[in-house]
Amino acid sequence: MQSPSIASPELIFIGFHALSDPLRISVIELLRNQELCVCDLCSSLGVSQSKLSFHLKTLREAGLVRSRQEGRWIYYSLNIPQFAVLEQYLSEYRRLSQILPARLCKEPS
C-alpha cells in the first residue's frame, strides 16, 4: 500500500469502498475513541469473529485501521492519516461549490 501522504486514485477508491458498508462504518465508530480488541468489537456489534474478520481485513487493506497483536488478541485502532487523505480529496470539491452551474441550453422555439 502507498504512503497516506500520496493520494492516488486507487488509494482514494479503496478508502471509500471500505467505508461503503454499514458494518464497517460501525467498526469505525467504535474505534473513534479507543483501541479495541477483536473480541470487544464482536461483542459490541453482535457478529461472529469470522464475519468481522472479513470487514477488518478490508479496513486494514484500505489503511483505515491499524492492528497490533498482544498475546493471542489482536487490537485495532484508527489510522488517522488515511482519513486525512480522504478528507483532503473531498475538500477539493468544497472549492467547486463556488463555481456557478452552467446555464441550461434552451432550444429555440
- Rounded Cα distance between 61 and 55, Å, is 10
Cell 478528507 found at = 87
pLDDT value for 39: 94
Q: Which residue has the higher pLDDT, 11 or 32?
A: 32
Q: Which residue has the higher pLDDT, 47 or 93?
A: 47
pLDDT value for 93: 77
Q: Which residue has the higher pLDDT, 86 or 105?
A: 86
CATH code for the part of the protein at 9-84? 1.10.10.10
Question: By CB neighbour count within 10 A (0-12 exposed, 13-18 middle, 19+ buried), where does 8 fall?
Answer: exposed
> Given the DSSP bridges, would you call strands 65-70 and 73-78 parallel, antiparallel or unpaired?
antiparallel
pLDDT 10s digits, 40-85: 999 999 999 999 999 999 999 999 999 999 999 999 999 999 999 9
pTM to 2 decimals?
0.79
Secondary structure in 3-state letters for the chain: CCCCCCCCHHHHHHHHHHCCCHHHHHHHHHHCCCCEEHHHHHHHHCCCHHHHHHHHHHHHHCCCEEEEEECCEEEEEECHHHHHHHHHHHHHHHHHHHCCCCCCCCCCC
The overall average pLDDT reported for the chain is 87
